[in-house]
């Protein structure tokens, strides 16, 4: 085998796993197709990661990458195409070659979900964006739209509000779902107009974005908003198509409490995993646990979870499911995957 463990993904989960794997003296590779540090590197400001009261996403990504590299894992820039069963482990097939390994930790994260409306693909990169910190400065002193109501939409909206003339916050519900402290900051801004109970049905433009059509879900009324850019934050799609393990209906990987998947020797951590919420600090903890579990598996001290191997078995090991059942018992509403 080329490696003891191959980690697919170089964000907080993957780099945390790399630190723990190398400290256990496991021969380790981290394979990342885009940016080491993960998608969090595009975040303007992180305030809820213990030890970093306030740090930019770029600086945070640099810090965790440098920490992982201190232990000298192999850092491979490539896209994983397939994880294939072989004798004694797995073959990880990439566009830069194939590698064999005793174990795999899938920490591939999730990509921004698309609206799926006319004009979105046509004007992507010409006014349609999923990264305010990347593209926001291009629209200084102009009117823009932000679509979504969760943490990403509101935190990126806070960044944009410092640059643009006006923000139209378009949300399909009548309230935000972001962290309360973020909501308070955003609601206090004078250059934000809320477009509640509405969805974008079309993005218009002439070589670049010049407007959006929004539909009120309660009245059916449509109207045009003149904007120069549309920033989309309506959720994520897990990047898990390359591995054949048990997943939920959205494609998130189901694991037990030790991050084991339905296949022995394959573990998952971070935003690609079925869980209650997605946070960098949670991803880092899951990555550490996955690496410890992988070490124990290699040493024969960790048994595969038979329940997960049975597709018809309930996912009793999912914290989100257990919490959901508890909340139902008390008559509480809950959302596992909130936009």
* Count helices and strands in the chain by DSSP H and E runs: 8, 17
Q: What is the pLDDT of residues 68-126, one digit of tens each?
A: 999 999 999 999 999 999 999 999 999 999 999 999 999 999 999 999 999 999 999 99
CA proximity to 18, closest of 4, 31, 7, 2: 7
Indicate which residue of 59, 85, 95, 134 is catalytic. Answer: 134
* Catalytic residue list contains 134: yes
Fold agreement (3-111+236-329, 128-232): yes
Work out the mean pLDDT of the chain and round it to a whole number: 91
* Catalytic residue list contains 4: no
What CATH fold (topology level) applies to the domain 128-232? FAD/NAD(P)-binding domain (3.50.50)
Q: What is the pLDDT of residues 247-268, one digit of tens each?
A: 999 999 999 999 999 999 999 9
Calculate the dihedral angle through the C-alpha atoms of 7, 249, 40, 156, rounding to the nearest 10 degrees. 180
CA proximity to 209, closest of 117, 272, 289, 300: 117
Quote the CA–CA distance of 202 and 168 in Å, as a whole number. 15
Indicate which residue of 131, 271, 272, 339 is catalytic. Answer: 131
Indicate which residue of 4, 135, 143, 339 is catalytic. Answer: 135
CA proximity to 34, closest of 19, 14, 54, 63: 14
Quote the CA–CA distance of 295 and 37 in Å, as a whole number. 23
Predicted TM-score (pTM) of the model is 0.82
pLDDT at residue number 310: 60
pLDDT at residue number 336: 44
pLDDT at residue number 330: 41
Q: Where are the domains of the chain?
A: 3-111+236-329, 128-232
pLDDT at residue number 308: 64
Q: Strand 236-238 to strand 110-112: parallel, antiparallel, or no bridges (unpaired)?
A: antiparallel
Rounded mean pLDDT, 59-67:
97
- CATH class (in words) of the domain with range 3-111+236-329: alpha beta
pLDDT at residue number 328: 42
Longest dimension (CA), the chain: 63
CB 326 within 8 A of CB 310: no
Q: What is the pLDDT of residues 118-160, one digit of tens each?
A: 999 999 999 999 999 899 999 999 999 999 999 999 999 999 9
């Amino acid at each position: 085998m080329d490696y003891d463990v191959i980690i697919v993904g170089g964000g907080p989960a993957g780099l945390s796993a790399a630190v723990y794997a190398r400290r256990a003296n496991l021969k380790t590779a981290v394979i990342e197709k885009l940016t080491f540090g993960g998608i969090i590197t595009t975040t303007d400001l992180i305030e809820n990661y213990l030890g970093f009261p306030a740090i930019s996403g770029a600086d945070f990504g640099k810090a965790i990458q440098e920490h992982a590299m201190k232990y000298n894992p192999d850092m491979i820039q490539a896209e994983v195409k397939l994880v294939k069963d072989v004798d004694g482990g797995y073959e990880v097939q990439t566009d830069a070659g194939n590698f064999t390994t005793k174990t795999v930790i899938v920490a591939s994260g999730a990509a921004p979900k698309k609206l799926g409306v006319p004009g979105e693909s046509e004007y992507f990169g010409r006014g349609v964006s999923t990264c305010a910190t990347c593209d926001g400065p291009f629209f200084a002193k102009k009117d823009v739209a932000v679509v979504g109501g969760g943490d990403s939409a509101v935190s990126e909206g806070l960044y944009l509000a410092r640059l643009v003339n006006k923000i139209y916050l378009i949300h399909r519900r009548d309230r935000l779902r972001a962290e309360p402290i973020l909501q308070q900051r955003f609601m206090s801004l004078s250059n934000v107009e809320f477009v509640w109970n509405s969805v974008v049905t079309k993005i218009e433009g002439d070589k670049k974005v010049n407007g959006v059509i929004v539909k009120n879900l309660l009245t059916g009324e449509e109207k045009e908003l003149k904007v120069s850019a549309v920033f989309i934050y309506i959720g994520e799609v897990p990047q898990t198509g390359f591995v054949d393990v048990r997943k939920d209906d959205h494609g998130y990987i189901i694991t037990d409490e030790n991050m084991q998947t339905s296949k022995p020797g394959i573990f998952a951590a971070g935003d690609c995993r079925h869980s209650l919420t997605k946070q960098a600090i949670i991803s880092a903890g899951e990555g550490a646990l996955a690496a410890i579990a992988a070490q124990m598996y290699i040493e024969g001290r960790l048994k595969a979870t038979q329940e997960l191997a049975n597709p018809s078995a309930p996912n009793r090991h999912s914290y989100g499911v257990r919490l959901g059942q508890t909340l139902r018992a008390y008559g509480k509403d809950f959302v596992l995957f909130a936009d």
